[in-house]
Amino acid sequence: MKQHKLSVTGLVAAAAALVGTAFYLVTTFTGYLTGSAPNPAVLVCSVLAILLLAVLASGKTSGGVRDLVILAAGFLLIGGMVLFALDRTSLAADLYFIPVNYPASEETAFQLSLAGIAGYLVALLADLAAAFSADKD
pLDDT in tens, 121-135: 999 999 999 888 865
Residues 26-45 have a mean pLDDT of 91
Which residue would you say has higher pLDDT here, 94 or 3? 94
pLDDT at 62: 79
Domain boundaries, the chain: 8-131
pLDDT at 40: 95
Which residue would you say has higher pLDDT here, 21 or 4? 21
In percent, the amount of the chain with pLDDT more than 70 equals: 94
The per-residue pLDDT for range 83-109, each reduced to its tens digit, is 999 999 988 888 888 877 778 888 899
pLDDT at 115 over 60: yes
Residues 56-76 have a mean pLDDT of 89
Residues 36-65 have a mean pLDDT of 91
Which residues lie closer than 8 Å to 62 by C-beta, 6 or more apart?
A: 136, 137
Grade residue 35 by pLDDT with cuts at 50, 70 and 90: confident
Backbone angles phi, psi at 101, to 5 degrees: 50, 50
Secondary structure of residue 64 in the 3-state scheme: helix
Looking at every residue in the chain, the average pLDDT score rounds to 89
Which residues lie closer than 8 Å to 106 by C-beta, 6 or more apart?
A: 32, 91, 94, 95
Model confidence pTM above 0.75: yes
